Structure formats: C-alpha cells, structure tokens
Amino acid sequence: MNEEIKKQIIELLETKRYGNLYQYMEKVNNQDISLLFEELSEEDMVLLFRLLPKDEAADVFSYMEPDLQEKLINCLTDKELKTVVDELFMDDTVDLIEEMPSNVVKRILKTVNKEDRETINELLKYPSDSAGSIMTTEFIDLKVNMTVEEAFKKIKKIGLNKETVYTCYVLDIRREIIGIVDIKDLLLAERDTLIKNIMETNVITVNTLDDKEEVAKQFDKYDVMALPVVDKENRLVGIVTIDDAIDVLQDENTEDFEIMAAMTPTEDSYFKTSVWKHAKNRILWLLLLMISATLTGAILTHYEEAFAAIPLLVSFIPMIMDTGGNCGSQSSTLIIRGMAMDEIKLKDFFKAIWKEIRVAILVGLVLGICNSVRVLIQYHDLKLSIVLGLTLIATVCLAKTLGCILPMLAKKLKLDPAIMAAPLITTIVDTGSILIYFSIAVSIMNI
Amino acid sequence: MNEEIKKQIIELLETKRYGNLYQYMEKVNNQDISLLFEELSEEDMVLLFRLLPKDEAADVFSYMEPDLQEKLINCLTDKELKTVVDELFMDDTVDLIEEMPSNVVKRILKTVNKEDRETINELLKYPSDSAGSIMTTEFIDLKVNMTVEEAFKKIKKIGLNKETVYTCYVLDIRREIIGIVDIKDLLLAERDTLIKNIMETNVITVNTLDDKEEVAKQFDKYDVMALPVVDKENRLVGIVTIDDAIDVLQDENTEDFEIMAAMTPTEDSYFKTSVWKHAKNRILWLLLLMISATLTGAILTHYEEAFAAIPLLVSFIPMIMDTGGNCGSQSSTLIIRGMAMDEIKLKDFFKAIWKEIRVAILVGLVLGICNSVRVLIQYHDLKLSIVLGLTLIATVCLAKTLGCILPMLAKKLKLDPAIMAAPLITTIVDTGSILIYFSIAVSIMNI
C-alpha cells in the first residue's frame, strides 16, 4: 500500500475525523487494510473494522493472521461476529475454526445456522492434507436442460454468495457431474441454447481424500481456475479454487526447503515461530546427523597410523568432505525437485542413474585433475598428487550416485524424498569418501 | 490420462480406423493429448493433429514441448501453420518464436499479419525476467459510459479471442486504466447499469519492466486472476494471467533450489538438459568451493603438532564440520525462504539475528552437553569432553549467526540471497569451526 495513504489513515484515526477516514479507506485494497491492522492498536483496529461495509469487512477479515483474527473477535459483539461469519466463504470459516481456541470456536458456531454447522462439521473431518480440507462447498450448479438464459438467472440469484462464478457445474439428479460450463461459453452462446449443447463433458475431478499437493499440481498441468471435488459415491461436494491451490504449492515448497535443510517443517512463519519451537524443530535432525558423523570419526581413528606418519594427509580432509557433500547435494536436489515437479518418475530410475554417472565422471575428472596439478605444484609429491586425484574422482562418483539413488529409493518406500537431501547425503558420503581416501593413500603411499 | 483410452487411440491409429479415432479424441483433455504426442511417431502425431478441430489444435500445440513443436511445424504446410498461429494467444506465439530456430521463426512470422508482427516484435523486446515478457496483449477493454448490456455485446463480439474474460478493463481515451469490472459484477448487475457505477476504481497495476517474480507474488497476495500491465506512460499494454504467474512461481522455486545446492540454474527439465550442460552447471561452483575448502586445510596444517600429540583429535573433525554446516544451512534456508516469501524484510535484520542467537544458544547447549557426556563415557577424558562441548556451542553460534547474516547481506548488496545457502555457508563455517576447535584444544589440553 502507498505509505502516504497509510500515514493519512493513521492521522485521521488519531484526530478522530471518521468521515474523511471512510473516504480514504475506499482507496485501499482489502489485503492492504488487513496488513495495516497489524500496526494498529486494538481500539483503532476495531474502530476501523466497524467502518467497513459488511461484505468488505468479511473479506478483510479472511486475509488477517489468526492471532489478529482472535483479537478482533474478542472485541466484537455476537451480532457483529455473525455478520462477519455469514459473509465468509465456507472454506475460510473452517480455516478460522481450526485456528481459534475453543471458547472462540463456541462463539463462532453459535452464530451459524444448523445446516451450515453440519457442513462445517463434515469439512472439519477431512484429513489436513486432503483436497476436502481446502475445498469450499459454495459453487454454482446447473442442469442439462436449462437454457443459457435460465443459467444466467440462476447465477444472478445465487451467485453473490459463491466463491467463483467462472466455472459452473452441470449435475444430474444424483448430484454427479456430467459436465462443466465456463462463464465465457455462457457469454458467447445464444440465450436460448441448452446447457447440454455447450457444456464440456470431459471433466477432471479430484476426490475428497486426494492429497492436496497432487490436487494443486493439477492446476498447473491443466490451467484451470477451479477443480470439482467428488466424494466416494462420485457426487460433487465442493470445489478447490486456484488461490487456495497456489497457497498449497507455496507451502509445499517451503516445507521441502525446510526438510531439505534437516528441519521439522512448521506451518508458521519465521517470526511467528517461538525460539523454543525453532530449537525443537532443528535439534532432532542435528543430533541424528551428529551421531552418524561420529561413524566417519570412528573410521578416522582406524587410520591414526597413516596420518601419524604423514600429517599432511589430514589437511585434505575438509576439501574431500566438502566436495563430496556438495556433489551429492547437487544430484539429490535435482532428483528431489524433478520428482516433486513430476519431471522425473520412478520408472526413470536407471535413466537418471546413467545420466548422473556420466556427469559424475566428467565432473570428477575435472576436479581430480585440478587438484592433482595443484598438489604437485605445491608439494612436489607425485604419489600424493595421484592419491588426491583418484580420491576426488571416486568421491564425486559415489556422491552423485548416492545423491541420485537415495531420494528415489525414499520415494519407492513411500517416504518423503526431501529427507534424502544435502545433510543426510553429506553424512553418508563423508563416511565413504574418508574410507576411499585413506584406502587409496595407504596402498599407494605404502604407509 | 486413462491408460485404457490411450491404448485404444494407439490401436485405432495402427488399424487406421480414423472415424472412431475422432470420437475417442473427444474424451481426452488437450493437455493429455499433447503428452500422448510425445509417445507417437512423427506420422501418427501429424495425422492425429490434423484430426483435431482448429481451436483445439492450437490449444494442444501450446501445451507441447518446444522440440515437439518444432518437429510438428516441420511437417505442417504453411496454410496449416497459419491456422495454428492465428488461434494461439499472443504470449504463446512469442514464447514459440523465442524457442524455435531461425528458419522456423521465419515461417511463423510469414503467417502473421503486419499488425500482429509489430506487437510480437514489441513483446520480444522485453527483458526475459520482466512482466512484459510474460504478458499477453489480448484483453477486454470497456468504456465508462457503456451499459452492462453493451459490455456483454462487446464481450460476445471480441471475447472468443481473448485469453480471459473474467476481468474487463475500463480505459479512458488515452488508454489509461480507470477501473476494472469483474465478470461476476457484470452478471449480477442490471442490464442498463452504467459500467462506471459498478467498476472497482482501486486497481493494482504492474509495470512492463517489473520483475516477473515480484508480479507473480502479487497474485498470491491479492488473490486476483489477472493483473494489468502498464507502460511508462501508464497506458494499458497487456495483462498477466494467473496460469503464467504459477509457472513463474514454480520456476523461481526450482531456480532457488538449484542455486541453494551450488548449481547454475537452468530452465530446461532434468532429462532435457544434456550431460555436458549438467556438468558445466555444476563444476564452476564445485571448483570455487573446493578452493575455499583448502583454506580450512591450511589451518589444519597449522595444528599438525597438536594432532601428532593427540591423534584422537582428528576423529572429531567430521562431526564438528558436519554439525556446523548443518546448523548454518538450517538458518540460511529459513532466512532465504523467509525473504523470498516476503515474511522477513531487511529492516528485520537485528530481530532475525537476535532470534537466531537465542536458538543457537539453546541448540548449542543441547548438542554440546550430549557430546561432552558421550566423550566422557567413551574416553574417560574430562578435558577432551570440555573441549568438544565448548567447541560445539561456539560452532553452533557461529554457524547460525553467519547463516542469518550472510543471506541478508547478499540481499542488501542486491545479490541473490540464495547463493548464501548450505554449500557456501558450510565452507565458511568449516574454517571457523576448525579454528575454534584447535584453539580451545591447544589451550585446555596444554599441547
């Protein structure tokens, strides 16, 4: 939002010129008003909220963060709360109920009529990662034998409370979908055309229990604005709209980033997560990885004689470990992301490994030769130079192969491939590379 | 697509029963047909393509991968090519021209009329990361004094060739936007209402040269289906639709994953990228990181006496390095992602550092104590146990602070924060942690 307008609003609030305030508010987007609320005192927030027209108030409310929503609800009368909840879309109401403490939930449910309360209870039952949990039950349904004219009348009658009017669903008597009609086709058709003559019968549906991430990916694949959700009996029970699909995609990406950096993912934003929670999310993986790293240490103690004889050998450990870790994380990142984007499938297993092995040989040769030359120039020691060259080539090949195999294996075992990212791969490759390094060193340098 | 239908289509193709084929094709989505094309021979693909109605053919074509598009174009007559290009939306035509080799581009441009050719040339001039490069020039424009009835007539007349009819733009005589009308508002209004009475004057616009990632983020923030793009003179020149915004978001996420794993990002998918290209994208960073890792090695040579005296010290190096790297990558990932999602801003610098330091102390204490206890039990060496405990606490604090500071510093310097991810942080932290480890060891163990 324009900083100028924000300043003006705050100033008008402070000087209590509410008439002018009303005019100013009209210039501001609802999303920006909800952001502005975060900076206001409780009284100013409630005051400003009461100035909003009721449909806009509900819209602003739906954009607010849960903690702010709770604060606001606690300041509203039951009647005001009812006005807000009545205007909310069903999926937003369900989200709200899931976030609020029980006393607030009770107040919200009291404002809702019996029929809606049943719908809400149904929606609350869907698992949190399912399509059912992100769908809304408000959509426009048409019948095959309606004319375009009648369809428009129906939209005009019920459209105001529907989340989207861009796609309408044609249902039969059992509420199964037999077609969809895009609003564009309705607009371009003649008024007396029958719906059945313009509807698209080739409908993509998802199931209430489908994974919401898979559902979100369908939006990307099929370029649709909404997807119909059907229950086990194939009846239409709701729709998922594209704005919710984008949120799911972004949340899943954030989750992948967090898992790939060895953290327990959290749904809250960085600053909203407490220090304790942050620490808790990170310690488990760190401990686990620390324990596995001691395995590499155990291998090192095995070669104490070797580096007691030639202490210089120790100084290459960080370079070998880091390079191995980086190579492994490059491969695993590409494979994990490729699988998340459906570009790499499990049936491509050997194709992917073959590709990684060829890349590894190329990369390994370049890094190995660079290092051999450097060591030869710096230490004038041909054997040491050969040891390092060979170690790097072998380490790169090991790292890239594991980086490719492990995420695919995880997927095959129905685990999240993202756990097989840099941190775990690095720890595993470390053990291998140290073993390779000292085996080669011992045999070539006759220690 | 249903595997059954796919088999049927291929069988009908083989047995040349084209009449039945036509019926079958109607059951399949255009996106799925484009995927099916990848598995067909060139002749079958062209044959099937010619069976499609012309608007669907163009739609199928727009979903195809560039290499397949090129193959197909080479099989089409100039007249057929013209039919396809005429039906394509302007942004898809521009994408096509950018991907095709020059001889194909010449053929495409020959099919386009002069006016469109000028538009295409204008669009090709926008930088590849700008809003201009992803916008389409096809939108519905209305005037303030039109009635709803007239607006519908205009949509009916020109709507067929517009990418979206969901949002219409109200322009003044200089083609500046003065309002937008959602199709829903048009449908709910009375026929004789004037556009100016139902239009929303609070319009979010983006500039042709705005970064396309920033533009895509606006879709997430404002829940819109399309955003109008204006030029320097504030005239409406195009719109970005939500399907393209999703592509941009997903591409940017993939790019971040790749940069954060120390790779030069590529736009092609994993298997479409050649082995050489893969190797090239990875070697540069690996070499750079390898060279910086030798710095850690140089520090180690400094302490040769220490680990000649107590060789056991060496065996803890992997654990310290890995833990430092993992702690640093946890923090940097959260900060990088937080900044990408606009949850963490540069002005939050000190707030973020303060949070990370507190988390680091907690995590460091837990890891340090666990390790001290383990070492004490395993080696019965109190001094060694204290050395490791202190080293871990200091390493964790260093890693988390750097992991927080460096990405924000990069952003401040207008660099991509994603380069300050696990690989680079790990290398930097390694140097620090080895230095800390041996300094503490030397002073406590009196080596």
Q: What is the pLDDT of residues A315-370, one digit of tens each?
A: 899 999 989 989 999 999 999 989 988 889 999 999 999 999 999 999 999 999 99
Which pLDDT band holds residue A161 (cuts at 50, 70, 90)?
Answer: low
Predicted model pTM:
0.80
Instruction: Report the pLDDT value the prediction gives residue B160, as an integer from 0 to 100.
Output: 67
Residue A378 at interface with chain B, using a CB cutoff of 8 Å = no
Cα–Cα distances (Å) from A108 to A60, A76, A442, B147, in that order, read 17, 11, 73, 41
Mean of pLDDT over chain B: 87
Average pLDDT, stretch A135-161? 86
Give the one of B279, B319, B367 whose C-beta lies nearest to A363's C-beta: B279
Q: Which of A411, A392, A388, A410 is nearest to A400 (CA)?
A: A392
Give the one of A187, A260, A370 whose C-beta lies nearest to B155's C-beta: A187
Q: Which of residues 133-192 of A touch B (CB under 8 A)?
A: 152, 155-156, 159-160, 165-166, 183-184, 187-188
Angle between helices A66-75 and A102-111 (to 10 degrees): 60
Q: Which of residues 211-240 of A touch B (CB under 8 A)?
A: 219-223, 225
Sheet with A236-241: strands ordered across? A206-207, A226-230, A236-241
Give A253 to chain B, closest Cα distance, Å.
Answer: 7
B371: phi then psi, degrees, rounded to nearest 5: -70, -45
CB atoms B318 and A312 under 8 Å? no
Which pLDDT band holds residue A17 (cuts at 50, 70, 90)?
Answer: confident
One DSSP character per residue, A169-212 reads EEE-TTSBEEEEEEHHHHHHS-TT-BHHHH-B-----EETTSBH
Give the one of B184, B254, B260 whose C-beta lies nearest to A341's C-beta: B254
Q: What is the pLDDT of residues A30-75, one digit of tens each?
A: 888 888 888 888 888 888 888 888 778 888 888 888 888 988 888 8
Q: Which of A168, A188, A220 is nearest to B161 (CA)?
A: A188
Give the one of B156, B269, B293 whose C-beta lies nearest to A187's C-beta: B156
d(CA A199, CA A283): 55
Residue B375 at interface with chain A, using a CB cutoff of 8 Å = no
Q: Are B390 and B368 in contact (CB under 8 A)?
A: yes
CB atoms B338 and A283 under 8 Å? no
Instruction: Report the pLDDT value the prediction gives residue B269, as an integer from 0 to 100.
Output: 83
Q: What is the pLDDT of residues A277-326, one digit of tens each?
A: 888 888 888 888 888 888 888 888 888 888 888 888 888 999 999 899 89
Q: Is the pLDDT of residue B1 over 60?
A: no
User: Which residues, 6+ apart, have CB-to-CB distance to B185 below 8 Å?
Assistant: B198, B199, B200
Q: What is the pLDDT of residues B178-191, one digit of tens each?
A: 999 988 888 888 88
Cα–Cα distances (Å) from B144 to B133, B164, B186, B206, B222, in that order, read 29, 20, 13, 22, 24
CB atoms within 10 A of CB B135: 29
Give the residue, A212 or B22, on which the prediction is more confident.
Answer: A212
Q: Which of B184, B342, B430 is nearest to A156 (CA)?
A: B184
Provide the number of CB pairs (under 8 Å) joining chain A to chain B.
326
Which pLDDT band holds residue B370 (cuts at 50, 70, 90)?
Answer: very high
Place of tokens 């086990």: A232
Q: What is the pLDDT of residues A113-122, one digit of tens each?
A: 888 888 888 8
A223: phi then psi, degrees, rounded to nearest 5: 50, 50
Q: End-to-end CA distance of chain A, in Å?
A: 70
Mean of pLDDT over chain A: 87
Give the one of A184, A257, A300 whose C-beta lies nearest to B159's C-beta: A184
Q: Is the pLDDT of residue A222 over 60?
A: yes
Average pLDDT, stretch B145-170? 84
Which pLDDT band holds residue B353 (cuts at 50, 70, 90)?
Answer: very high
Give the residue, A176 or B18, on which the prediction is more confident.
Answer: A176
The number of residues making up chain A comes to 447
Q: Which of residues 104-133 of A touch B (CB under 8 A)?
A: none
Q: Are B318 and A297 in contact (CB under 8 A)?
A: yes
d(CA B96, CA B65): 10
Chain A interface mutation, best of B274, B333, B356, highest count of A Cβ atoms under 10 Å:
B333
Q: What is the pLDDT of residues A182-204, one digit of tens each?
A: 888 888 888 899 999 999 888 89
Angle between helices B66-75 and B90-99 (to 10 degrees): 90
Instruction: Report the pLDDT value the prediction gives residue B2, as an integer from 0 to 100.
Output: 63
- H helix runs in B159-241, sequence order: 183-188, 195-198, 212-222
Domain boundaries, chain B: 3-125, 141-241, 275-445
CB atoms A301 and B312 under 8 Å? yes
Q: ipTM for the complex? A: 0.80
Average pLDDT, stretch A235-253? 90
Q: In the CATH hierarchy, which top-level class contains the domain B275-445? A: mainly alpha
Give A108 to chain B, closest Cα distance, Å.
Answer: 25
CB atoms B330 and A262 under 8 Å? yes
B46: phi then psi, degrees, rounded to nearest 5: -65, -40
**B318-353 residues labelled b (16+ CB within 10 A) or e (exposed):** bbbbbbbbbbbbbbbbbbbbbbbbebbeeebbeebb
Instruction: Report the pLDDT value the prediction gives residue B356, as an integer from 0 to 100.
Output: 92
User: pLDDT exceeding 90 applies to what percent of chain B?
Assistant: 29
What DSSP element (H or E) covers B3?
helix B3-14
CB atoms A334 and B366 under 8 Å? no
d(CA B225, CA B243): 9
CB atoms A323 and B427 under 8 Å? no
Q: Structure tokens of B121?
A: 């040339």
d(CA B27, CA B65): 22
Q: Is the pLDDT of residue B228 over 90?
A: yes
Q: Provide the pairing of β-strand A206-207 with A226-230.
A: parallel
Q: Is the pLDDT of residue B16 over 70?
A: yes
Residue A377 at interface with chain B, using a CB cutoff of 8 Å = no
Pick the CATH number of A3-125 from 1.25.60.10, 3.20.20.70, 3.40.50.880, 3.40.50.300: 1.25.60.10
Chain A interface mutation, best of B153, B188, B334, highest count of A Cβ atoms under 10 Å:
B334
Q: Provide the pairing of β-strand A236-241 with A226-230.
A: antiparallel
CB atoms A27 and B289 under 8 Å? no
Q: Is the pLDDT of residue B101 over 60?
A: yes
Give the one of A26, A290, A298 whose C-beta lies nearest to B315's C-beta: A298
| CATH 3.40.640.10 given to domain A275-444 | no
Q: What is the pLDDT of residues A367-421, one digit of tens each?
A: 999 999 999 999 999 999 999 999 999 999 999 999 999 999 999 998 888 888 8
Average pLDDT, stretch A167-181? 91
Which pLDDT band holds residue A156 (cuts at 50, 70, 90)?
Answer: confident
B380: phi then psi, degrees, rounded to nearest 5: 50, 40
Chain B: residue whose CA lies nearest to A280: B363
Q: Tell me, what amino acid is at B427? A: T
Helices (H) and strands (E) in chain B, counts: 22, 6
Q: Which chain B residues are within 8 Å of A422, Cβ to Cβ?
A: 261, 329, 422
Give B72 to chain A, closest Cα distance, Å.
Answer: 21
Q: What is the pLDDT of residues B332-350, one digit of tens each?
A: 999 998 998 888 999 999 9
Give the residue, A229 or A266, on which the prediction is more confident.
Answer: A229
Query: SS3 for B178?
Result: strand
User: pLDDT exceeding 70 applies to what percent of chain B?
Assistant: 99
Place of tokens 């395993």: B378
CA dihedral B13, B17, B21, B22 (to 10 degrees): 130
Give A107 to chain B, closest Cα distance, Å.
Answer: 28
Chain B: residue whose CA lies nearest to A316: B297
d(CA A351, CA B55): 36
What DSSP element (H or E) covers A213?
helix A212-222
Give the residue, B5 or B428, on which the prediction is more confident.
Answer: B428
Residue B253 at interface with chain A, using a CB cutoff of 8 Å = yes
Chain A: residue whose CA lies nearest to B270: A338
Q: Which chain A residues are within 8 Å of B348, Cβ to Cβ?
A: 271
- CATH dotted code for A141-241: 3.10.580.10
Which pLDDT band holds residue A215 (cuts at 50, 70, 90)?
Answer: very high
Q: Is the pLDDT of residue B161 over 70?
A: no
